[in-house]
Amino acid sequence: MRYLVTGTAGFIGFHLAQRLLDEGHEVVGVDGFTSYYDVQLKERRNALLEPRNGFKGYRAMLEDMPSLEAIWEAEKPDIVIHLAAQAGVRYSLENPRAYVDANIVGTFNVMELTRRHPVKHFMLASTSSAYGANTQMPFQETDRTATPLTLYAATKAATEQMTHAYSHLWSIPTTAFRFFTVYGAWGRPDMALFKFTKGIIDGTPIDIYNHGDMERDFTYVGDLVEGIYRLSFCVPTREAALPTGAIDNLSPVAPYRIVNIGGGTPTNLGAFIDEIEKCVGREAIRNYMAMQPGDVARTFANADLLIQLTNYRPDTPLPVGVKAFVDWYRWYYDVTAETQTSNATPLASA
């Protein structure tokens, strides 16, 4: 099939495009190459996609409706997977307008094009941040999402509601998937694993919020991509207007559902850093700080619906995923044991 994926120069979009191409599908990539983080990293990802048979890339901003319209008309995708967004929880405190422009206006444009050019399945990337101040664990797709803690979370929750309305009005088969602290090779420099690895290698302090009293349901990027790929064949329909079970949130008025993609195994932040230290071979210089505005102490996915629909649960062990990232980081930045800074303290076992 022909998949149109927004955000193919991004972390998750790059990995998803690789997987789809490996499976023999065509991929139409759309990316704006924004400067939120190192554009060279995006160019390097894109350079690996461009030569591949079945890939065709476009450079366009989500807010640029005429450019997007031309792409949709030319390519006529079977499935649209909308990943592109302004990411980052803390950055939404600094530049909130970027989230309204990219996440609200951009998603509206993609929805409009999906209405004008019907597809077999429309898929929307959402986030565990949509659960906001919920304290009941694990997070279940049927939980209320009325208490967002950041504008980022609010915009992602809003896109879920927007796409539900479009699904109802125009019978667009839609799946929104919420992911949980994704990590892995080619990750974003603003993400914790990237910053921690860089700090440990450079021998500089790493900031640890809430004094380390935090847990995250870390999800390896390959597992997330597997979940997205399998869900692309689980198309909600009006005819199947009844949930498949008590945990299903299939809408009673639209071919629409929301699915968590997470392993359901929260890890303490300290244990996460321990794994990075083992892979790097050095101790971190830990700078403990207070909780940051908009942060939550814990995330924890209930993956039962994903398993029910796809017979799959994310299961890459944390040591395996962290090692894959650290190995990539060393390769990408040409870091060896000899070039690694001497400021950090080697582990006793290293």
Q: What is the pLDDT of residue 242?
A: 55
Task: Please list, in sequence order, all residues whose beta carbon lies within 8 angstroms of the beta carbon of residue 326, skipping any fewer than 6 positions away.
Answer: 197, 276, 279, 280
pLDDT band per the 50, 70, 90 thresholds, residue 254 = very high
For helices 65-75 and 106-116, the axis angle rounded to 10 degrees is: 30
Backbone angles phi, psi at 34, to 5 degrees: -70, 165
pLDDT band per the 50, 70, 90 thresholds, residue 238 = confident
Q: What is the pLDDT of residue 94?
A: 87
Backbone angles phi, psi at 6, to 5 degrees: -85, 140
Across the chain, mean pLDDT equals 94
Domains and CATH numbers, the chain: 2-181+219-264+300-315 (3.40.50.720)
Task: Please list, in sequence order, all residues whose beta carbon lies within 8 angstroms of the beta carbon of residue 70, skipping any fewer than 6 positions away.
Answer: none
Please check whether residue 127 is in contact with residue 89, taking contact to mean a CB–CB distance below 8 angstroms: no
- pLDDT for 155-207, tens place per residue? 999 999 999 999 999 999 999 999 999 999 999 999 999 999 999 999 999 99
Residue 79: what residue type? I
Integer-rounded Cα radius of gyration of the chain? 20
How many CB atoms sit inside 10 A of residue 11's CB? 26
pLDDT band per the 50, 70, 90 thresholds, residue 87 = confident
Residue 96: what residue type? P
Lowest average pLDDT, out of 93-102, 104-113, 281-290, goes to 93-102
Q: What is the pLDDT of residue 88?
A: 81
Please check whether residue 109 is in contact with residue 148, taking contact to mean a CB–CB distance below 8 angstroms: no
Residues paired with 100 in a beta bridge:
none
* Active site annotation includes 152: yes
Distance from the Cα of residue 284 to its chain's centroid: 26
Question: Which of 152, 166, 209, 229 is the catalytic position?
Answer: 152
